[in-house]
Amino acid sequence: MRFGPGPTLVLLLIVAAATHPAAASSQAPHVELDIVASRIEYDTLAALNAPSLSLLTEWQRPSLFGRVAASATGFEGAGWSMQGRASLAGWLSPRGVRSPLRLELGGTGAASRHSRGFDAVSGRLDGRVHLVGRRGGGWVGASLAAANTSFDSASVGAFSPSVGAWLQNASVRGMISYLHTVVSGETYPEANVSLTLSRGPLDLALYGGVREWPVDAGVLDERWAGATAAFWVTPKAAFVVSGGKYSSDIVQGLPGGQFVSVGVRLTPRRYRPIPPSVTAPIVYSVDEATPGSIGFEVAGATRVEIAGDWNGWQRLELSRDGSGRWVLPIGLEPGAYRFNLLVDGERWMVPEQVPTIEDGFGDVVGLLIVSGAN
């Protein structure tokens, strides 16, 4: 089983990180484990039942986004496959963080092995120029890709100019892109759309696309679409249902297919995108976010602990300064952070004058922002 619509959703995540640097913080890595049962029907093979185990980890820094995924899949007749994929993207703002201009450079490497002796290795380099606004933006760029499979000892290369745009409204984000891939002198125009939303306990991702094949290839134009829905029953566990059709891999020469799957997703804590705007946020500069500088007033408290997404929500005890404030003993890198305070080991609270956002489970958490500008 291939990663299916993964590249489109990875691009959505990378563009989201690149276009909203305030949400890219020095947080603990986000980890997910999916235990899934699937029914897969490849375009060139009969349908198969396939249980799988998939591990995903993502992390963000002020100017980096990384993603590593690995999966092991079993097939009927004792067959199996193992796959791995790693992506890394970095960006900079040549005219300062307040400028709408972003430059991005990224890369992806992938490898797979099948019990029947099929091996594949691929890599891709991406470069993009972004123009971003408060709720939308666009980019233009190009990719270089190469792949080698056990079908053919010769490597296959591809060049793909691309252009795209995105829009976001609260927790809903949509993206459209166009690629003009050239492989061995043949062109494969392709368009993709994707939509993600997060409402209460539901996370939903939709995707679709169309690709035109060369006339002399004798292949009908491809169309694909699908969806994944995760319903969170606790902050650490969700039921996941997905299905649809994914495209063929024209660089590796792998077929497309249809699938439906059900499973369970486990994670230390559910990841939720920070909204693009929050009423009256408190913004600290880098100089104001040094150890002992960020503090809160908590009347009548004898002990205060803080838990935030910069360290995976591990509790950290605050100390009281000369003015009576409870101060954070560590510094924070530029980014947007969720947090809560535990007072006297009994009650959780958000300090007064701190903006709040929903955590998706009927409660609220505080939000503080550290700007990259001094």
Write the CATH number for 351. Answer: 2.60.40.10
C-alpha gyration radius of the chain: 23
Residue 293 lies in a domain: yes
H helix intervals, the chain = 6-19
Stated pTM of the model? 0.68
pLDDT in tens, the chain (374 residues): 444 444 544 454 444 544 443 333 344 577 899 999 999 887 666 778 889 999 999 876 657 788 999 999 988 777 889 999 999 988 787 876 557 888 899 999 999 998 878 899 999 999 999 987 767 889 999 999 999 988 777 788 999 999 999 887 756 889 999 999 999 889 999 999 999 987 778 889 999 999 998 877 667 789 999 999 999 998 789 999 999 999 988 888 778 889 999 999 999 877 655 443 334 446 677 777 788 888 888 877 888 999 888 877 888 899 888 888 888 888 888 878 888 888 888 788 888 767 777 665 556 788 888 876 55
Do 206 and 121 belong to one domain? yes
Let me know whether 21 and 115 are in one domain: yes
Q: How far is 326 from 318, CA to CA, in rounded Å?
A: 6
Domain membership of residue 233 (yes or no) is yes
Last residue of some domain: 208, 231, 266?
266
Check whether residue 120 and residue 249 sit in a common domain.
yes
Give the count of beta carbons closer than 10 Å to the beta carbon of residue 71: 20
Domain carrying residue 304: 282-370
Q: What is the pLDDT of residue 296?
A: 85
Q: Kindly state whether residues 194 and 152 are assigned to the same domain.
A: yes
pLDDT value for 146: 94
In this structure, the answer to whether residues 200 and 74 fall within a common structural domain is yes
Nearest to 57 by CA among 197, 240, 267, 202: 267
Confirm whether 187 is domain-assigned. Answer: yes
Residues 60 and 135 in one domain: yes
* 274 falls within a domain: no
Based on the fold, state whether residues 204 and 252 are members of the same structural domain.
yes
Residues 19 and 138 occupy one common structural domain: yes
Q: Which residues pair with 56 in a beta bridge?
A: 32, 69
Closest CA to 260 of 49, 8, 13: 49
Q: What is the pLDDT of residue 280?
A: 43
Q: Which pLDDT belongs to residue 10?
A: 47
Q: What is the DSSP string of 122-159?
A: EEEEEEEEEEE-SSEEEEEEEEEEEEEETTEEEEEEEE
Q: Which of 266, 296, 329 finishes a domain?
A: 266
Residue 246 carries which side chain, given as an amino acid letter? Y
Tell me: do 291 and 163 sit in the same domain.
no
**In this structure, what DSSP letter does residue 9 have?**
H
Are residues 204 and 313 located together in one domain of the fold? no
